[in-house]
């Protein structure tokens, strides 16, 4: 297997900041505190609050756009509006939710 060291980074999952040098050949990979993979933010602390904040922010932006363009349309039935909401807003909010730890605080933030 070939690893492109120039395109690679490393991250250590730990509660406290830990330095761990990872070498590929002669090169030491840079260590990062966070990275995005398939649109999901991973942090070295393993916590998901920032990712949940990002999802809530993205969903809020979608909701504002839907309110300006869809909700105000009198021609659309409530059923059609609800269908649009379920097909656009809910997936934006819940993308990557399989990794979230659902506490009461998280549940209340998502409502």
Note the pLDDT of residue 87: 92
Q: What is the pLDDT of residue 45?
A: 84
pLDDT of residue 30: 92
Q: Give the pLDDT confidence score for residue 41 in this predicted structure.
A: 85
pLDDT mean values, one per 10 residues, the chain (111 residues): 85 86 89 86 84 88 89 87 89 81 77 72
The residue segments making up the domain with residue 20 are 1-32
Q: Are residues 51 and 105 in the same domain?
A: yes
| Same domain, residue pair 57 and 83 | yes
Any residues with CB less than 8 A from the CB of 62 and at least 6 apart, and which?
88, 89, 92
Total number of domains constituting the chain: 2
89 and 45 housed in the same domain: yes
Asked whether residue 78 falls in the same domain as residue 101, the answer is yes
Residues 50 and 104 placed together within one structural domain of the fold = yes
Residues 41 and 81 in one domain: yes
């Amino acid at each position: 297997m070939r690893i492109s060291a120039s395109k690679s980074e490393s991250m250590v999952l730990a509660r406290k900041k830990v330095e761990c040098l990872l070498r590929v050949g002669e090169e030491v990979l840079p260590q990062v505190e966070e990275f995005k993979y398939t649109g999901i933010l991973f942090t070295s602390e393993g916590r998901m609050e920032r990712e949940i904040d990002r999802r809530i922010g993205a969903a809020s932006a979608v909701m504002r756009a839907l309110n300006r363009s869809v909700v105000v349309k009198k021609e659309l039935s409530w059923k059609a509006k609800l269908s649009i909401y379920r097909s656009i807003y809910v997936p934006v909010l819940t993308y990557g939710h399989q990794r979230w730890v659902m506490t009461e605080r998280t549940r209340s933030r998502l409502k």
